[in-house]
Amino acid sequence: MTETLTYQTGTFTTDHASKYLQQLCKHFAHKIEVEYDPSSARMALPTGPATLAADGDRLTARISGADDAALDRARHIIDDHLKRFAHRENFEAMDWKAA
């Protein structure tokens, strides 16, 4: 039986999109499978696959989960880590939307 995943996309406008993408990936690589370069990434979050893209001044995350609780957890994982890395920009949360 194949699990159906739901997706959400988050965006963060910043001059440091590539820097934050790489910081997130280097941090997560200690615990999960991660593939990345300066402009894109694929991560095996515990909630489901996620991708990141750095395009100019925009960092975009596409997360997946089996249900709302999984999506909440995935959003929290991304937002919580970005709060640490982007604290100088007073980052609170990505702008999340259903994909």
- Residue 1 scores a pLDDT above 90: no
Asked whether 3 and 58 are in contact (CB, 8 A), the reply is no
Handedness of CA 44, 46, 50, 52 (dihedral sign): negative
* Per-residue pLDDT at 99: 77
Give the pLDDT confidence of 39-91 residue by residue, as tens digits: 999 999 999 999 999 999 999 999 999 999 999 999 999 999 999 999 999 99
Tokens found for residue 24: 């997130």
Amino acid at the residue 13? T
pTM: 0.92
Going by C-alpha positions, the residue among 26, 27, 61 that lies closest to residue 47 is 61
